[in-house]
Amino acid sequence: MLLQGKKILITGVANDWSMAWAIAQRCAENGAEIAMPYAMPNLEKRVRPLAEKIGAKFVTECNVQNDAQMDALFGAIEREWGHLDGVLHAIAFSDKNELTGRYADTTRENFKNTMDISVYSLVDLTRRAAPLMHDGGSIVALTYYGGEKSVPNYNVMGVAKSALDSSVRYLASDLGRDKIRVNAISAGPIMTLASSGVGGMKSLLRLNAEQTPLRRNMTLDDVSGAALYLFSNLSSAVTGEVHHVDCGYSTTGMMPNELKEVLLRGLDEGEQ
Ligand code: NAD
């Protein structure tokens, strides 16, 4: 019960595949009370039954681009709970048509919208949550390696993740004196509603599993375990970090020998 008595706002639950849902369950199992808003009306029918399973509160519509809905959510949390101990930012959006092909073809409109929803929302959530974190707190965002290196088709979302990673460091610097820690988990790829919009996701998952040092893809249990650590006092001296939970993918500089051999054999056969 690492989170006994803690109150945590979990954003980004869309369905039972969502990483945020795995994290919400893990936090609840460890004694936390959960607030679990949803982004838009059509998600209520999926999110409400999940929220009921873990006794989550504040199951209200909250689109991060809608200031009135953000005011209402934080107003309700302040009135009913009076404080917060943690926030999970698990929010990303970009036009699916631009998550394939060239980054160079990104439109100004989609660039701005992607940044607003996927990055500025962390700043806004943090600024609103901080005054409720009377005894310190932990803010955790979900990011991806495509913000550190170019990954085919990830395009503007990769640029957004770079900005998210950087925001984590700046927010950690701003809020450290209030004992509020801000970190990101750089999760390995996994099939969800959001990731299914990235071109070539199925083949990326197949290749990724062959390429990581652990020779497998990350699971929802892996990511929720890391979030539990970051929300708990076990990580009390950790802030401003991007913690990779990716079966070691980001630590490698070249694919393993067995994969290289398969690839070279394929190339040789193609040449014949
Ligand atoms: P998901 O589709 O379950 O979650 C994305 C969430 O963003 C959804 O709940 C959606 O409702 C929410 N959202 C989108 N626009 C919003 C808005 N305007 N206001 C409020 N919420 C909004 O998919 P997921 O993969 O669990 O994504 C969660 C986070 O994890 C995202 O930041 C994503 O980039 C990140 N991530 C995903 C992967 C992956 O491979 N799936 C890997 C690393 C990081």
SS3 63: coil
- 17-36: pLDDT as tens digits: 999 999 999 999 999 999 99
The dihedral of CA 88, 93, 96, 101: what is its sign? negative
Helix (H, G, I), strand (E, B) or coil at 41: helix
User: For 82, what's the count of Cα atoms within 13 Å in the CB-facing half-sphere?
Assistant: 1
As for ligand 1, residues whose beta carbon falls within 6 Å of it are 12-14, 17-20, 39, 43, 63-65, 90-93, 117, 142-144, 187, 189-190, 192-195
Active-site residue identified among 38, 120, 145, 154: 154
Q: Which residue reads 């509603």 in tokens?
A: 193
* Average pLDDT over the chain, rounded to an integer: 97
- What's the rounded Cα separation, in Å, for the pair 194 and 92? 7
The two tokens of residue 254 are: 């070249």
What does the radius of gyration of the chain's CA atoms come to, in whole angstroms? 19
- What's the CA-to-centroid distance between 89 and ligand 1, angstroms? 9
Rounded to a whole number of angstroms, the distance between the first and last alpha carbons of the chain is 61
Q: Specify whether the CB–CB gap between 89 and 142 falls below 8 A.
A: yes
Q: What is the pLDDT of residue 270?
A: 85
Spatial distance between the Cα atoms of 180 and 212, rounded to a whole number of angstroms: 33
CA distance 214 to 63: 37
Q: For residue 154, indicate whether it is catalytic.
A: yes
pLDDT in tens, 224-252: 999 999 999 999 999 999 999 999 999 99
Strand order across the 137-143 sheet: 33-35, 7-10, 86-89, 137-143, 180-187, 242-245
**How many whole angstroms separate alpha carbon 86 and alpha carbon 136?**
9
- The pLDDT tens digits for 169-191 are 999 999 999 999 999 999 999 99
What's the mean pLDDT in 100-117? Answer: 98
Probe ligand 1: pick from 19, 119, 149, max atoms within 8 Å of CB? 19
Alpha helices by DSSP H, the chain: 19-29, 44-53, 67-80, 108-115, 121-129, 155-175, 201-211, 220-231, 257-271
Comparing CA positions, the residue from 38, 39, 13, 37 lying closest to residue 26 is 13
Between the alpha carbon of residue 30 and those of residues 3, 13, 54, 124, 227, the distances in Å are 5, 19, 11, 27, 12
Q: 123-160 pLDDT, tens per residue?
A: 999 999 999 999 999 999 999 999 999 999 999 999 99
